[in-house]
Amino acid sequence: MTAEMKFEDALKKLEKIVSDLESGDLLLDDSLKKYEEGVKLAQFCSKKLESARRKVEILVKTSSGKLEAKPFDESVLEES
Amino acid sequence: MSPIKPTETERLIYSVTQLTREIKVILEGSFPGVWVEGEISNYNLHSSGHIYFDLKDAESVLHCAFFRNVNQNIKFELKDGLKAICFGRVSVYDRRGQYQLYIDKIEPKGIGELQLAFEQLKQRLEKQGLFDSAHKVPIPILPSRIGIATSPTGAVIRDMLHILRRRFKDLEILIYPVKVQGDTAAQEIAMAVEDFNRLRNVDVLILARGGGSLEDLWAFNEEILARAIYNSEIPIISAVGHEVDYTISDFVADLRAPTPSAAAELVVAKKEEFIERIEGFLIRLKSSLDNAVSILENRLRDLLESPAFKYPFEKIELYEQRLDDLTKSMDRNISHTIDIKSEKFNTVIGKLEVLSPLSVLTRGYSITLHLPKGDVLKDTKGLKRGDKIETRLLKGRVISEVKEVKKEDVK
């Protein structure tokens, strides 16, 4: 797993920040900080969504017994 | 049947073994294959793997032996009190002189074998805590890669890929091909779970199989798979059969999907939904900050409009006014005092004036001085024609030259 923040953690944090801000009892400085952080988190989430790429692979056992990911040919399925 | 017809006179003596053998032949010949129904008691699983128990009803008992080579395929658990229907042959256990049923097959009475096995395993695993919700791991909202252990051919994987693409076209999927039916299926799927846990290259794992009979789905009711799912640190979605089919895997898994297609829908929200949600958050972020600022602005405005800010000199003016008042009253007092004093003074002055030589002048008298010495003239003595005199009036002076001196009075 990457050391990068997980999407759901970012989303949860963002949710928390929004509700904190909406509760309205923050100092202005804190509000601004939270706002900035919130915008960053939202950007992170959007980026994460956009950076996902489609790749379908299938695990194949090699002769040595190791598992290897190979591209999966979906067209085979459409014919069946 | 034995040809020998023994009587009391014709003594034909058997050994115990001979007789037992004869009896055995008779019994085996009569009951080479028979179905017997009864309740299991004195159940005993020997360390050899053979099972011994009694089958009984209200009046009789039948000893039964269920040997290892045949009892291994039994799915459900035998135990005392279970009503069972057994198939086997009747024979004699020579060493104890005991006839018994040698069982080939056994099924529970009134319930299918698999159904019973399912219920028993479910109960046992539940007791062991394998279904505890506390143990379950939440499914990630946006998995960066999804593992699917299923048959790599057929409609199930096709439909799942199709749905996944429709909901969220950009996703990474890793398929682990397994048999989903047959004797080795449970083991294969359990291995898939273990392999994924070793590889750690997926965020969530779906175990999928299409619909089928209880027997078809049996792999998902086996303990080996149940344990693998329980031990998995990767969240697992169990997606087996149709909506009505419940398997042990469903109970152990972190999430049960009613069907494989449903699993594909559960595992990731629509991309648009994510985008909408994030945009919604952004809007709320902005408006809540705007709110916070406008609340602060209002407060600031209130402060600026407060009397302290709006009439900053009010206090000072108040003091000044008071000071003025005080000054005025002080002045008044003072002038009053002065008036009184000056009146007194005037009185004194008046008195003085009466006595003053100058006051005579006010009545039209004047004083004449003899110049240049300036002696006051009271008579004409020493005065002669041509002398200069100064006459002092109330206002002003007159310098004159004497023309004539007369010694007598004016009268």
A45 to B289: CB separation less than 8 angstroms, yes or no: no
Residue A64 has pLDDT above 80, yes or no: yes
- For B145-169, how does the pLDDT look when each residue is reduced to its tens digit (9 = 90+)? 999 999 998 899 999 999 998 888 7
Helix axes A7-23, B271-304, angle to 10 degrees: 30
Q: Give the integer Cα–Cα distance in Å for B359 and B342.
A: 20
The residues, any chain, with a CB within 8 Å of residue B264's CB and separated by 6 or more, are B159, B160, B161, B163, B164, B167, B206
Which of B51, B49, B47, B43 lies closest to B83, judged by CA? Answer: B43
Look at strands B51-56 and A55-61 and give their pairing: unpaired
pLDDT tens digits, A2-43: 457 888 888 888 888 888 888 867 777 888 888 888 888 888
Contact B275 A49 (CB under 8 A): yes
B296 neighbourhood in chain A, CB within 8 Å = 28
pLDDT-based confidence at B298, cuts 50/70/90?
Answer: confident
Inter-helix orientation angle B113-127/B223-231, to 10°: 30
- Distance of residue A37 Cα from the nearest chain B Cα, in angstroms: 10
H or E element in which residue B344 lies: helix B314-355
DSSP B392: E
**Between B94 and B334, where is the model more confident?**
B94
The whole-angstrom distance between B297's CA and the closest CA on chain A is 11
Domain segments of chain B: what residues? 16-110, 142-268, 361-401
Of A6, A42, A67, the CB nearest to B278: A42
Tell me if A52 and B177 make a contact (CB, 8 A cut-off). no
The answer to whether the CB of B42 falls within 8 A of the CB of B54 is yes
* Per-residue pLDDT at B329: 87
Closest alpha carbon to A45 in B175, B285, B147, B254: B285
Phi/psi of residue A39, nearest 5 degrees: -65, -40
Q: How confident is the model at residue B186 (pLDDT cuts 50, 70, 90)?
A: very high
CA B225 to CA B252: how far, in whole Å?
Answer: 9
pLDDT-based confidence at residue B2 (cuts at 50, 70, 90): low
**Which site among B146, B156, B271, B282 would you substitute to test the A interface, given the most A Cβ atoms closer than 10 Å to its Cβ?**
B282
Return the higher-pLDDT residue of B119 and B340.
B119
Q: Helix, strand, coil % (nearest 5) of chain B?
A: 45, 20, 35
Q: Which residues in chain A have their CB less than 8 angstroms from residue B199's CB?
A: 67
User: What was the pLDDT predicted at B5?
Assistant: 65
Residue B182: which region, alpha, beta or left (left: phi > 0; alpha: psi -120 to 50)? left
Residue B223: pLDDT band (50, 70, 90) is very high
pLDDT at A2: 42
Residue B367 is given by DSSP the state E
Architecture of domain B16-110: Beta Barrel (2.40)
Q: Which residues of A touch B169 (CB under 8 A)?
A: 54
Among A46, A69, A78, beta carbon nearest to B174: A69
**Nearest CB to B158 within list A11, A42, A77:** A77
Average pLDDT over residues B374-403: 86
Q: What is the pLDDT of residue A1?
A: 35
Q: Which residues contact B261 (CB under 8 A, 6 or more apart)?
A: B159, B160, B163
Tell me which of A5, A12, A18, A48 to substitute to probe the interface with B (most B C-beta atoms closer than 10 Å). Answer: A18
Q: Is there a contact between B155 and A56 if contact means CB atoms under 8 Å apart?
A: no
Cβ(A38)–Cβ(B281) under 8 Å?
A: yes
| B295 vs A8, A24, A69: nearest CB | A24
Domain B142-268 falls in which CATH fold?
Rossmann fold (3.40.50)
Tokens found for residue B136 = 């379950």
pLDDT at B308: 73
- Tell me the pLDDT tens digit for each residue of B117-135: 999 999 999 999 999 999 9
Most confident by average pLDDT, A20-34, B76-90, B327-341, B356-370 = B76-90
B157, two tokens:
């994987």
Backbone Cα Rg of chain B: 67
Measure in Å the smallest separation between the Cα of B220 and chain A Cα atoms.
21
Residues of B in contact with A76 (CB under 8 A): 153
Q: Is the pTM of this model over 0.95?
A: no
Give the gap in angstroms from C-alpha A62 to the nearest C-alpha of chain B. 13
B contacts of A1 (beta carbons < 8 Å): 200
User: Which residue is associated with the tokens 């048959």?
Assistant: B151
As a whole number of angstroms, the distance between CA B352 and CA B357 comes to: 10
User: Number of CB pairs < 8 Å for A and B?
Assistant: 116
- Is residue B241 within 8 A of residue B260, CB to CB? The reply is no
Give the residue from B143, B217, B132, B141 showing the smallest Cα distance to B180.
Answer: B217
Cα angle B202, B206, B212; round to 5 = 160
What is the three-class DSSP state of A52?
coil
B-chain residue closest to A25, CA distance: B292
Residues of chain B with Cβ-Cβ distance to A11 below 8 Å are 141, 277-278
pLDDT tens per residue, range B226-260:
999 999 999 999 999 999 999 999 999 999 999 99
